[in-house]
Chain A
C-alpha cells in the first residue's frame, strides 16, 4: 500500500456509497409525489432496498474505519482540517440516520420494508399516521442536510485537487501515482 492512501477496501466502500447515494437520492426526489401507479410502488421498493443497502454499507464502512485508521491528512490550514473532519463526522451520522428514518417512516405508514422483496425487516414502530408524517419531514430535512454536506465535501475535494493540487482526492482513488 502506498503510504498516505486509504486502504483498497475503504476506497471501494467510499465509491460504492457514493454510487448508492447518487441513485437513491434523485429517485426519492422524483418518486415522492408521483400519482399512485404500479411504477410508483416499484420505485418506492427500489428506493427502500437501496436505502437498506446504504445502511448495511455504512455499518461495514464504520467498522472498517474504526479498525483501519485514515491516512494522515495533507497539510492544510487548521480551519480547513476542522471543517473537513466535521463534515466527515456528520456524513457518517447521516449515512445511518437517513436510512433509519426512512425505515421507521415506512413502518409508521404501514408499509413494511422487505429488502429486495426477500428479507422482511421488523417494523420498529406501529402504524401511526402522525408519526409517519413527522418521520417523512425528518427524512426530507436530513436529506437536505446531506445535499449541503455532500456539496461541501465534493467542493473541498475538487478545490484540493485542482487549486491546491495536493493528494487529498488522490488518496481516495485506486490509481495513486506521483
Chain B
C-alpha cells in the first residue's frame, strides 16, 4: 500500500526529528525572571537580554550541554530607580562585570520527568556550583526547558554596604527560567 508506507515513512521521519538534538536557542520566546523580597513584599524583575549555547535532545536531556550568558545591564528590577541602582558598584557592578554565566555539561535525572543541570554560575567574579532543576516540554518545532531555583544574593556579593542588610532586601532571590530551543536555524539567531 502506497499510503501506508508513506505514513510509516512520515512517522519515522517525525521520530527521527524528535530524537534529534536541538541547538537553536530562541531569545524571543525564552525568559529569565526573578522575584526579590523587599520589606516582605515580592517584587518581580527580569533580564531582557541573554544568550545561550545549548545542545540538547529533549528525549534525553541528561546528555545536554548549556552555556548561558546574561547581560546584567539589561535588568528590569521593577522601577527605573532600582534598575540604575542595581547596575551600580554595590550590586552587579555591570561596568566591571557585564555578564553572569552559567555553564553546565552534566544533567542529573531526578525522576518523574524532572532533571537538574549541574554547573558553575559566575556572577560578579564569584563562581559557585549550583543545581538548576528543570522540566522538559516538547512543542511543535522545539522544546521548553522550564525551572526555578533560589539563589542567595550575598554569596555573590550582590548588594553590598548598607544593602547587605537582609531585613530590607531578603538574601533569597527566586530565579525562574523558561528556555525555548528549536532544531531549526532561525535566521536572526544564526548570526549571533
Contacts and interface: CB of A to CB of B under 8 A. Distances in A.
Contacts of A45: 39-41
Interface size class of B (residues with CB under 8 A): 10 to 19
A38 B82 CA distance: 11
Interface in A72-129: 109-114, 117-118, 120
A27 to B, nearest CB: 15
Contacts of A41: 38-39, 168-169
B168 A118 contact: no
Contacts of B169: 38, 41
A112 B42 contact: yes
A33 B43 CA distance: 20
Nearest to A45: B39
A42 B82 contact: no
Contacts of B79: 109-111
Contacts, number: 42
Contact of A114 (B40, B81, B82): B40
Interface string B36-55: 00111111100000000000
Interface residues of A, number: 17
A63 interface: no
A112 B40 CA distance: 10
Interface string A25-66: 000000000001111011011000000000000000000000
Interface string B147-161: 000000000000000
Contacts of B78: 110-111
Contacts of B42: 112
Interface of A: 36-39, 41-42, 44-45, 109-114, 117-118, 120
Given A38-B163, A45-B39, A111-B38, 4 more contacts: A39-B162, A110-B79, A117-B40, A118-B40
Interface of B: 38-44, 78-79, 81-82, 84-85, 162-163, 165, 168-169
